[in-house]
Structure 1
Amino acid sequence: MKNVLLILLVFNSLVVFSQKGTIRGTVIEDATGETVIGASVVIKNTINGVSTDLDGQFSLQVEEGTYDLVVSYISFESLTIQSVIVKSGEVTLLNNIRMRENSLQLGEVMITATATRKSEAAINTMKKKSVSMMDGISAEKMKMTGDATAVEAAKRVTGVSIEGGKYVYVRGLGDRYTKVTLNEVDIPGLDPDKNSLQMDIFPSNLIDNIVVSKNFTADMPADFTGGIMNIETKAFPEEELFTVSAGFSYNPQMHFNSDFISSEGSSTDFLGFDDGTRALPENAKAAVIPTPYNGATPEQVNSFVNEFNPELGATKQTSLMDFSGSLSYGNQIKLNSDNSKNPKLGYIFSLSYKTDYKYYDDVTYGEYQRKSDPNDNELVSANLQEGVLAEKNVLVGALAGVAYKTNLSKVRLTVMHLQNGESKAGQFKIDNNPEGVGQSGYFAESNNLEYNQRTLSNLLLNGTHRINTSGWEIDWRVSPTYSTSNDPDVRSTAFTQTATDTFFAAGGGGLPSRIWRSLQEVNVTSKIDLTKDYKLWDEDAKLKFGVSHNYKNRNYEILRYDVQFFYPQQWNDYDPNNILTAENLYPNRPNGIFYQSGNADPNPNAYESSVNNTAVYISNEFSITPNLKSIVGIRAENYVQKHTGRDIAYATGDEVNGKNLEDEKVLESLDFFPSINLIYAIAEEQNLRFAFSQTIARPSFKELSFAQILDPISNRSFNGSLFTYSDWDGELVVTNVNNIDFRWEKFMERGQILSASLFYKTFKNPIELVRIPEQQTSTEFQPRNVGDGQLLGLELEATKSLAFISEKIQNFSVSGNLTLVQSRIDMTDREYNARKEYERTGESIKNYRPMAGQAPYVVNFGLSYGDVEKGIQTGLFYNVKGAALQIVGSGLTPDVFQDPFHSLNFGFNKKLGEDRKTAIDIKIANILNDKVESVFKSYEAADQIFSSLNPGITFGIGITHKF
């Protein structure tokens, strides 16, 4: 990469050898916000000029000096931009030049060349003229606010809330109903089981815009309901970009803490991957491993145990501060010195590195049950786990892009690689209560060691071609992605304690175990869209149609090995790091430790799944009257999901009652998704919108499988939906959604907006995570279709400058949005009857409940101050979601709700120096020091902890310099 960068730098310097300066800009239509293709941009009183390309952009090279620039296009008012100052070897950027239709033949309009500060007005134009109900944030706005990453920028978008500092949810709906695309292409995130792409991996200086569409149109993928967010990365930097940034964060609870716990790790952990230290021993892959019971010699058994890392317990270290850094470089090159010809080459590179430490010293995982006595409302503890949890996370990202553009064509190639490594260590005291149903009753002290490494490599090849003046435009995209997620050597060790002894017991804290998990996934998306501009009833119209195909393939495997004891146990100390010492290994007495494989052949915890999704669509955008626009369309998706896997019964030899699938279809459907959008312009700056559409939510790979995935930290298990139980037939189907939206919106100057939205959705066969009633001795969950659902929501949003109060506070603005939602699931008979079985005295159980994952309200509020002249941007931002049903209870086990998390954050950005090329960022996160908690809720009972973490208050400072 260094050599490529050097070549481009040299090439760039040769191109500008004449010491000319460059004028660049973008010409857009004021009424629609769309770019103007083929506009003439000429130095006044000369023939030196260019035409705007298919992005409405131009690049003009001239000698150093001051010029007047004339911008003209047929049927538009000509503009003369006065006093454009050009310096040798530098770029003068004019940003968005807005042209108005020349309906009154007013002639030439004179403006002065200054850096435009109407970026929010441009975004508002895009919102106003968009065919869907959308919100967004531009690159100019991100530059002004000083947001360092996409996730920081996204939180400023109306209706968006951030989960875990990485993922976006829209309108309070959970991950299943929110989708994130990159450059309009569906790619998996670092977490293979989430729809949302991890947003904190993209530096904001590489982003052109972030747009959230809140309703469906036929050219979009149909598998979203709350909203679809698209991140568009830069292809052609408007000016030379060479930016370096670094930042540090300090949390008094987490950093420079000598109680931080960890494990030894490998020499490459700091780069986000394991160097092989945690790899599964080669002999463990054999069909039969050495044990005392299969004829292996004592030496073979002993040697095999010694192949495993003997570290089973966490050790104390001192944590460091969080660090983030990035380097970005990009530019565009004019490939012909003749301004009449316009081929250009753009390129951009970025490297980013992040590492953070988290330490929670009061973690709680609880399991609670209702009592059998209907007169006793209080919950009883079945299992309580309390202790400390430490995490170290490393994220390395690299992005490189190159694009070639002429006036009517553009081809771009973007390559991205992400590497993420996360190590965890936990130490817990476990109190298992014999009064709980299915509980044996014991105390235990556990140590858990985990490491997860994930990679994602994505390539995007995209071409856009305008066919002369025919009105046809072709856009094609091909994007393959390869991703992995591996958990090498997950170790769980828990000493069980009784009144007289401490030992390992399968019926207590469990035997020491090790797990290796591996996942590989290939995702290939290809699509082509054709657009035809034409006239209908003397008004502009647009016909759009296209085809796409998405292929996914996933291989997943879990291998497990348990410690066994050939002789009675006897322990001199209870340090887990002394368990695998020489005197405890077979054939030595006492203990006689050896490893036993927990893997049947074929492995019930291995599967391969694939998806082929072919889609075609057609839509037409036209005006019924001058003030009423209609967008109607239909999309068809043929979706086929296949699965290879088997259940435990089949894997252990029961071929009669067991189930085994060999590349069998577990989901096949041809679905049609109609959509209609109506936009009525009440006035120039006001719209009324109506939209109806049908969308879908489909099960993920792991949901349509026989997988059983244990979380060693919380000791909770996820079971695939293909397992059958007395109250579940193993038939998981898709969720069909009907969407109706109304919206009134008013746009004002300087990015101010008022809007009110009403939305209604119905859900057929929604998928929710359910506590499995039959598994009473362990905590297991399964995705299931529950009764049909519906929700009704109201969304209010406003962004308003305080200038209307006084000009002295004109730089202050308030922004906020409030989403209120009433959701309802009509229960199935089996769920209703299970709840009635544990009905409390005085309680009247209805046959409906709230929808899982849907918050009853979402509040976003911000108070901002911005002074462009002083280079200051600061703000205080608050977000909270109402208590949302997280896990559906089973009757004996109450529902689990995620409590509101009151997030209050402060940000300050100051640009320094005359040229404003250096910026300082100061941030304070979680000012209210709120906890992240989920609780069991039951009729007139005190809430009890399901999970509790305290993230503490974080102080951050960063510096960015643009060379």
Structure 2
Amino acid sequence: MHRRFIFIATSLLFSLITFAQTGSIQGTVSDALSHERLMGAIISLDGTNKGTSTDFDGNFILENIVAGTYTLSISYVSYTSKKIPVKVVENTATDLVNISLSEATEVLQEVVVRATKKTSTETAIVLETKKMNPIAVGVSAQQIAKTLDRDASQVMRRVPGISIMDDRFVMIRGLNERYNTVLLNDVITPSTEVDARAFSFDLLPANAIDRIVVYKTASAENAGEMAGGVIKIYTKSRIDENTTTFGFSTAYRTGTTNLQALQYAGGKLDMLGFDDGTRALPQNFGNRAILNGNNRVAANEQFRRFLPMYNVSNQTIMPDLRANLGLSRIFNIGALDVSNITNVNYSMSNLLPQNATQERYEGINNNELAYQWRDAASVQQVRLSAMSNFNILLSEKSKIEFRNLFYQAATNETLMREGTNENEQIDFRNYAFRYETRSIYSTQLSGTHDMQQQAKLTWNVGYGFTNRYEPDYRRIATSRISGKTDEQYKIDVPPVANPSLTQAARFWSALNEHIATAALNYEKDITIRGMVVKTQVGAFEEVKIRDFNARWFGYINPNNSERIYQLPEIFFDEQNITTNAGGISLLEGTNYDDHYTAQNSLSAAYMSAVIPFTSRISTQIGLRGEFNRQQLQSRLRGSGTSVTVNNPIISPFPSLNVTYKINKMQQLRFAYGMTVNRPEFREIAPFSYYDFNLNISKSGNPDLKTASIHNIDARYEIYPSDGELITVAAFYKYFINPIEISGRAAGSGTAFFYANPNSAKSVGFEIEVRKNIKGFLQNRLTIVANGSLIYSRVDASNLAGQIANRPLQGQSPYLVNLGLYYNHDLFQANILYNVIGKRIFVAGDLLGNQTIYEMPRNVIDINISKPVGQKLEFKLGISDLFNQANRFTADSNNDAKIDGNDKNWRSFSRGSLISLGATYKL
């Protein structure tokens, strides 16, 4: 299969390349007297619509010109225009070498030009990051358009030094996603996960993104909470013309599409990503006193209002579908120039994980197999998003932006698990039916005002709402004696009034979070002894409020009824919920810790100055102060003892960014910054959540501390030409009280919890290349590559039984991203490669809890796009060409190495995805 994919992809790429038989014109424009190269000179080919402008080095190129003789026009403000006859030959670059322009002698009339700065091109993003004082990298909308990326998580894979975890979460320099701060249009995004501090990048559609900039060093104007980086995502706002675009694509996934799989019945709005109330708790459902009271007749009447526990059937898995509609409009409201961009995106994808196995080992060196199982899962994901951004020009120097984003995502999962409990010699067949929705709404109002005397004022107010809803998560456990294949599985339910969340149970949870923000920033250039010092002061305020509630109910078999040997669809029939002999019942098992409320307030003020000590040395000095108060209220499981967290912390964040310009093409950077990493609400909440997929529970730690980080960076940058760069960097990070996920024994199973080792350090080296390959394929091939090597070590001597000399949890020792982009007017193609080194998924100890590593996985994507005329474009893509397994391996002998002595903990494959789509522009 792999060879067939490679052959098809290579054949398509070769045939498209050989199809393009045209010529090009290239050259350089300079001043006739000083010989200084002119940037921004206008180049046009008379009689055609071909045109361009010169780059920073005065270079230009016009491509895809049909062979023939033409007249080339060159013009530049305050210079005399020039026309040159040129001859274009097929498959040849006509090199005009140098074109000189002379200054015009006539006086020019004043002309007022109103323009909008382009930020979405590859050249613009390179120039933007080059001029920034902090070290930064980025990706533009132009580069995104060359791929089949559907959402921001896939886009982020193109950013140097970035890797993606679980197809949703971003890691910078191999660090865990918790060490990143994510901003959407300069407003901090809410955490989208209940169990972790993370933003799920699959929420944002790729076609709504203008650019993404990742800051790798600290600066006063950016949030003080970072160690990996600050990620700023900007959605599209200003446009040049009215457009309407339609897009549609379908995809075939190997091992999934057109196969049969178990799926459980849901609601009428599942296709749109909403639960229509079908899975909701019945209206006016009873409280615990009624449901667990002595009047079982009344209680059972309540429980019979539930949906059927087991309502599954085999369904044929359809191909993935994606559709989008984009509207761009320019209009006037009185004297105001207004533009609007609106995007609506919909997608439905399906996945049947292949060869999904898990194993658990015990005994000396963990060599004795205790459990093993195979999962047959069907996962459907629906995403619906809408974005509407308004840009209002109040004047040439002032604008207002109003941005809105709504996102709805739903996951519908049906899972059947078969395996063996070697300790008890039992075969089991378990089921889980899960439906989860995530809703995010973000609205922002911002203003930018250019003032007199080189000053600028910007402000921003925003509101965000996040909801995560998990209605009627059903779990069923059945078993039989190992080897008794002729016997039927019996349903596992407790015979006493003690329901179990891991056997036959139904679980509901809801999380609501509100965030309000306000920011003010003032910039002004001040001249001191001939130096222009760029100063900046600002303030930021954020208030975050969260409320979480969970409620669950478990089946019991008080009469030891033989009904347990019936099939699930018969056993769980509502008619069997009765006090009669042989009947079953339900009890509420909700615990004290299944509810928590939390609040966080953050107040910040900062100031910075960029001081050009010489024409070559520029230094940004900054100081940011933050006062953060984190509060949480909950209760302990069992005892109900009140748990209160109240952590007020004042943190100063000094930062220094120094740039030494060797020449126009080269510069050196040095940076230092102090930052923090605060616990997320979920990480300090005592709530324990049972994860059926991993067969573990997850709980928070109210005693978790805030981590402090010292960051040192050095980088050498080369900019060979417009849009190109080569960088070599080194960095060092020292963590005090880093936050890690660790494993510990919990009853008969394992629990994941959060802990603070004493300290950790991370030392890394990275290289980045974005370069056009000259003299090959008519200069149309570009390579974008980056790689990192990182060494990390943790001092966890303060934690009982911890393994010495291990890496930081979540830190990869290396990562590699490589992309080859071929760009032609007739078609575009690219091949992308990504791999990250093994990293600790969960830190173990010497007390029997193994360290789990996520193993490397090589990923190759191929994308080809073909425009047809000016309005239609087709795209073909193959994602995850080799379909290597996602592997998690247990370090069985605790030697901090993974070799033949270590055992599989979890493994599965997603399959390769072949997609075909089209976009039409009106």
Q: Could you state the TM-score of these two structures normalised by the residue count of structure 2?
A: 0.83
| CA contact 1:736–1:764 (8 Å) conserved in 2 | yes
| Aligned mate of 2:819, from 849, 862, 872 | 862
Q: How does 1:224-239 map to 2 (within 5 A)?
A: 224-239=226-241
- In the TM superposition, residue 688 of structure 1 has moved relative to its aligned partner by 0.2
- In the TM superposition, residue 146 of structure 1 has moved relative to its aligned partner by 6.5
Q: What is residue 737 of structure 2 aligned with on the other side? A: 765
1:355 equivalenced with 2:348 (yes/no) = yes
| Aligned mate of 2:200, from 178, 198, 203 | 198
Q: What is residue 813 of structure 1 aligned with on the other side? A: 782
- In the TM superposition, residue 264 of structure 1 has moved relative to its aligned partner by 0.5
Q: What is residue 401 of structure 2 aligned with on the other side? A: 412
Q: What is residue 176 of structure 2 aligned with on the other side? A: 174
Q: What is the root-mean-square deviation of aligned Cα atoms in Å?
A: 3.0
1:545 equivalenced with 2:499 (yes/no) = no
Q: What is residue 707 of structure 1 aligned with on the other side? A: 687
- In the TM superposition, residue 227 of structure 1 has moved relative to its aligned partner by 1.7
Paired amino acid for 2:548: Y
Paired amino acid for 1:706: P
Q: What is residue 914 of structure 2 aligned with on the other side? A: 955
Q: What is residue 269 of structure 1 aligned with on the other side? A: 270
Paired amino acid for 1:420: A
Q: How does 1:493-642 map to 2 (within 5 A)?
A: 493-498=476-481, 502-506=490-494, 510-571=502-563, 574-581=566-573, 584-590=576-582, 592-600=583-591, 603-642=592-631
Paired amino acid for 2:642: N
1:911 equivalenced with 2:883 (yes/no) = no
Q: What is residue 699 of structure 2 aligned with on the other side? A: 719
Deviations 1:13-58 (Å, cap 9, x if unpaired)?
xxxxxxxxxxxxxxxxxxxxxx99xxxxxxxxxxxxxxxxxxxxxx
Distance 1:448 1:147, change over 3 A: closer
| CA contact 1:536–1:622 (8 Å) conserved in 2 | no
Q: What is residue 246 of structure 2 aligned with on the other side? A: 244
Distance 1:528 1:509 in 2: 49
- In the TM superposition, residue 471 of structure 1 has moved relative to its aligned partner by 2.0
| CA contact 1:80–1:108 (8 Å) conserved in 2 | no
| CA contact 2:830–2:863 (8 Å) conserved in 1 | yes
- In the TM superposition, residue 732 of structure 1 has moved relative to its aligned partner by 1.0
Q: Which runs of 5+ in 1 are unaligned?
A: 1-34, 37-67, 72-76, 84-101, 337-341, 435-439, 652-658, 723-730, 836-846
Of 755-764 and 344-353, more deviation after overlay is shown by: 344-353
Paired amino acid for 2:455: W
1:309 equivalenced with 2:310 (yes/no) = no
- In the TM superposition, residue 133 of structure 1 has moved relative to its aligned partner by 1.0
Q: What is residue 130 of structure 1 aligned with on the other side? A: 132
Distance 2:529 2:103 in 1: 18
- In the TM superposition, residue 104 of structure 1 has moved relative to its aligned partner by 14
Deviations 1:477-497 (Å, cap 9, x if unpaired)?
111111110111010001132
| Aligned mate of 2:386, from 398, 401, 414 | 398
SS in 1 for 2:188: coil
Paired amino acid for 1:860: N
Distance 1:424 1:476, change over 3 A: same
Distance 1:118 1:588, change over 3 A: closer
Distance 1:270 1:362 in 2: 27
| CA contact 1:896–1:946 (8 Å) conserved in 2 | yes
Distance 1:615 1:799, change over 3 A: same
- In the TM superposition, residue 219 of structure 1 has moved relative to its aligned partner by 0.4
Distance 1:278 1:182 in 2: 32
Q: What is residue 98 of structure 1 aligned with on the other side? A: none
- In the TM superposition, residue 123 of structure 1 has moved relative to its aligned partner by 2.8
Distance 2:149 2:636 in 1: 48
Paired amino acid for 2:305: E
| CA contact 1:268–1:274 (8 Å) conserved in 2 | yes
Q: What is residue 879 of structure 2 aligned with on the other side? A: 925
| Aligned mate of 2:635, from 642, 646, 651 | 646
Between the aligned residues of both structures, percent identity stands at 25
- In the TM superposition, residue 830 of structure 1 has moved relative to its aligned partner by 3.8
Distance 1:713 1:473, change over 3 A: same
Deviations 1:87-117 (Å, cap 9, x if unpaired)?
xxxxxxxxxxxxxxx99999999xxx9x999
Of 125-134 and 266-275, more deviation after overlay is shown by: 125-134
| CA contact 2:491–2:564 (8 Å) conserved in 1 | no
Distance 1:146 1:568 in 2: 57
- In the TM superposition, residue 309 of structure 1 has moved relative to its aligned partner by 1.3
Distance 1:161 1:80, change over 3 A: farther
Distance 2:622 2:214 in 1: 20
Q: Could you state the TM-score of these two structures normalised by the residue count of structure 1?
A: 0.80
Distance 1:667 1:226 in 2: 24
Q: What is residue 150 of structure 1 aligned with on the other side? A: 152
| CA contact 1:180–1:195 (8 Å) conserved in 2 | no
- In the TM superposition, residue 195 of structure 1 has moved relative to its aligned partner by 4.9
| CA contact 2:492–2:564 (8 Å) conserved in 1 | no
Distance 1:509 1:195, change over 3 A: closer
Paired amino acid for 1:330: S
Q: Which runs of 5+ in 2 are unaligned?
A: 1-38, 41-72, 84-101, 110-114, 894-898
Q: How does 1:198-217 map to 2 (within 5 A)?
A: 198-217=200-219
Distance 1:148 1:455, change over 3 A: closer
Of 939-948 and 854-863, more deviation after overlay is shown by: 939-948
| CA contact 1:491–1:514 (8 Å) conserved in 2 | yes
Q: How does 1:25-36 map to 2 (within 5 A)?
A: none
Q: What is residue 432 of structure 2 aligned with on the other side? A: 448
- In the TM superposition, residue 829 of structure 1 has moved relative to its aligned partner by 4.5
Distance 1:401 1:777 in 2: 53
| CA contact 2:212–2:231 (8 Å) conserved in 1 | yes
Paired amino acid for 2:449: H
SS in 2 for 1:702: helix
Q: What is residue 459 of structure 2 aligned with on the other side? A: 476
SS in 2 for 1:303: helix
Q: How does 1:20-99 map to 2 (within 5 A)?
A: 78=78
1:883 equivalenced with 2:838 (yes/no) = yes
Deviations 1:603-639 (Å, cap 9, x if unpaired)?
3210000100111111111101110000010111101
| Aligned mate of 1:222, from 224, 227, 231 | 224
Paired amino acid for 2:819: G
1:381 equivalenced with 2:369 (yes/no) = yes
Distance 1:787 1:574 in 2: 54
Distance 1:103 1:550 in 2: 54
| CA contact 1:378–1:941 (8 Å) conserved in 2 | no
| CA contact 1:503–1:569 (8 Å) conserved in 2 | no
Distance 1:238 1:142 in 2: 19
- In the TM superposition, residue 244 of structure 1 has moved relative to its aligned partner by 1.1
| CA contact 1:539–1:626 (8 Å) conserved in 2 | no
Distance 1:941 1:409 in 2: 65
Paired amino acid for 1:928: F
- In the TM superposition, residue 809 of structure 1 has moved relative to its aligned partner by 4.8
Distance 1:130 1:461 in 2: 25
Distance 1:859 1:585 in 2: 57
Distance 2:517 2:81 in 1: 44
SS in 2 for 1:604: helix
Distance 1:719 1:81, change over 3 A: farther
Deviations 1:789-844 (Å, cap 9, x if unpaired)?
001100011122221xx35452122221110000000221544x455xxxxxxxxx
Distance 1:107 1:148 in 2: 52
- In the TM superposition, residue 779 of structure 1 has moved relative to its aligned partner by 1.6
Distance 1:483 1:809 in 2: 49
Deviations 1:167-223 (Å, cap 9, x if unpaired)?
322211121112321111102154355555433443444332211111111100111
Paired amino acid for 1:419: Q
Distance 2:609 2:710 in 1: 21
Q: What is residue 492 of structure 1 aligned with on the other side? A: 475
